[in-house]
Each structure stands twice: as structure tokens, then as C-alpha cells.
Amino acid sequence: MFFWFVCYLVVVWPISGSDERCPELPSVDNSIFVVEEMEGQILGTYTCMNGYHLVGEKNLFCSASEGWNAPTPKCHLGHCPAPVLLNGEFSSQLPVNVRDKATFQCHEGYILKGSNWSQCGEDQTWVPPLPICKKRDCGPPEKPAHGCFEGRDFNSGSTITYYCEKWYQLVGPQERQCIDGEWNSTLPACELIQEAPKSALQTASEEALLAFQESKEPCKAVKNFVERLNENGLTMEELKYFLEIKKAELKVKMLPRHCS
């Protein structure tokens, strides 16, 4: 068996050095009221009992000339705001009291993002936070600069393929898949393929490689190659840079298609 107690102290408070008195305050159910005198004023503090929360001012002041500074507050039974779940539904009694739980479920075609349950805490907030219902399908994806994608189906499970304009190469995943309302990877980029900055570099590099191919003997081929590099003042780093450019150009030529 449970018993409810109403705690309240009914007092008429005199102000020191004055014949005037603070008026009585009406009782507030399920609260405790503590008073003290401070610098010619009466300070009253309301504290609600466990399971209740205060609505109104917690601290009230009374002066001989002005009376109480605010209306009497109320102690309401602790509850959380009613949960809201767009495109879904929840199971919970209303109003939601402290420690009550709610469970959540999305409508067909939507997926729950967050926890499928939440509880009303002592501070009248939901823990964990309320979830949302998000469409299972993805919206149209972004296109990278100088790029495009192939595919018109953005439903969950569908895949799109990215391509770049001519003389641009794709950096990142070429395919992205829609999984439960989100694309499964980051947007790729299309980067410009740079040409060799100097024709002299191309000429010197080709001569060095040709010198290497002139001899079938490995040792002599390497010797010829090194000599030709030195003659043209070409370093291995410059040769490597040239080869990377040629590799990128070859890759572009081998791509199955470009953006139109």
C-alpha cells in the first residue's frame, strides 16, 4: 500500500523592524518549502518531492513594500514530452511518467536510425535520444566536378558508376551502392592529368630509354642508359616523373568511356 504525503509549512512571516508581514502562500502539494530571512527580505525555496518536477519559480522573495515577487509554483508528477516519430509509430502510455519506456517502429519503406527504445529520465528527458525514420532509398547522388555517373535507380541495393571527362582521371571508388538510405562510400573526384612541362624532358627521357633498348646485354644496356642520362643532364627523378605522365595518358586512352 502506498501513501502520498503533502509536505508544506504554513507560516506568516514578520519582517524585522517592521509591523508589516508577508502574506501566507497557498499550499503546494508534494513539495517542501524552506524559508529564511535575508537583509530585510524573506527568501522561500520550493523543492518538489521525488517523482515530481517544479513548474514556476523555485525561489521566491518577499519584501514589506512589494510582497512576493512571483506566483506560487506547482509540483507536477514527473513526465517527459510526448515522443514524436515522423513516418513511424511508438508504444507508450500518455502522459509519460519518469522511468516509463517507449518503443519505436518505422512505417514500411523507412528504416530506424537510433535506438528502438527510450526511457523517460529523472530530469524529464528521453535517454537514449529519440530516433528518426529515414527512407530506405537514397536521393540522387552528387556529381564530381568534371565527372558524371551512370544509373537512374536510387533504391536501396542499387549501384551507380562514376566516370570523368576526357583528360581527367577518377580518384576514389568508381561504384557506390545505396544501403538503407545512405551511399556506402565517399564521393570520388576527377583530377586533371598533367602533361609533361617541357618537351626537352620528353626528348631526353625517350633517348635514355632507347639507349637502354639498343643492347641485348643487360650490363651494356644499363651502361648506355646511364651515359645517355648524364649526357642530357637528366636525373632519375625526372625520368620517373616522365614515366608517370605516360602511364596516366595510357590509362586515359584505355578507359571504356568518358562523360559526354
Q: What is the per-residue pLDDT across 20-65, written as a single tens digit (0 to 9) for each?
A: 567 777 778 888 888 887 766 788 888 887 767 777 888 888 876 7
Q: How far apart are alpha carbons 207 and 216 in whole angstroms?
A: 16
pLDDT in tens, 56-89: 888 888 876 777 888 888 887 777 888 889 999 9
Domain formed by 79-135, architecture: Ribbon (2.10)
CATH 3.40.640.10 fits 13-76, yes or no: no
Residue 104 has a pLDDT of 95
User: What is the share, in percent, of the chain residues with pLDDT greater than 90?
Assistant: 27
Q: For Cα atoms 93, 108, 178, give the angle at the middle one, nearest 5 degrees.
A: 125
On average, the pLDDT of the chain sits at 77
Residue 208 and residue 234 in contact, taking contact as beta carbons nearer than 8 Å: yes
Q: Kindly list the domain boundaries of the chain, sorted by start residue.
A: 13-76, 79-135, 147-192, 199-254
Q: How far apart are alpha carbons 11 and 27 in whole angstroms?
A: 11
Residue 147's nearest CA partner among 195, 193, 189 is 189
Query: What's the mean pLDDT in 135-157?
Result: 91
Q: Indicate the angle between helix axes 236-254 and 199-213, nearest 10 degrees.
A: 90
Q: Give the pLDDT band of residue 255 (cuts 50, 70, 90).
A: low
Query: What's the mean pLDDT in 189-202?
Result: 70
Residue 99 and residue 120 in contact, taking contact as beta carbons nearer than 8 Å: yes
Residue 135's nearest CA partner among 169, 88, 93, 203 is 88
Three cell numbers written together for 120: 523517460
Residue with grid cell 586533371, as numbered in its chain: 192
DSSP letter string over 210-252?
Answer: HHHHS-SSHHHHHHHHHHHHHHTT--HHHHHHHHHHHHHHHHH
Query: What's the mean pLDDT in 143-149?
Result: 94
In words, the CATH class of domain 147-192 is mainly beta
Domains 13-76 and 147-192 agree in fold: yes
Cα→Cα distances 44→32, 64, 255, Å: 10, 14, 80
Q: Rounded to two decimals, what is the model's pTM?
A: 0.43
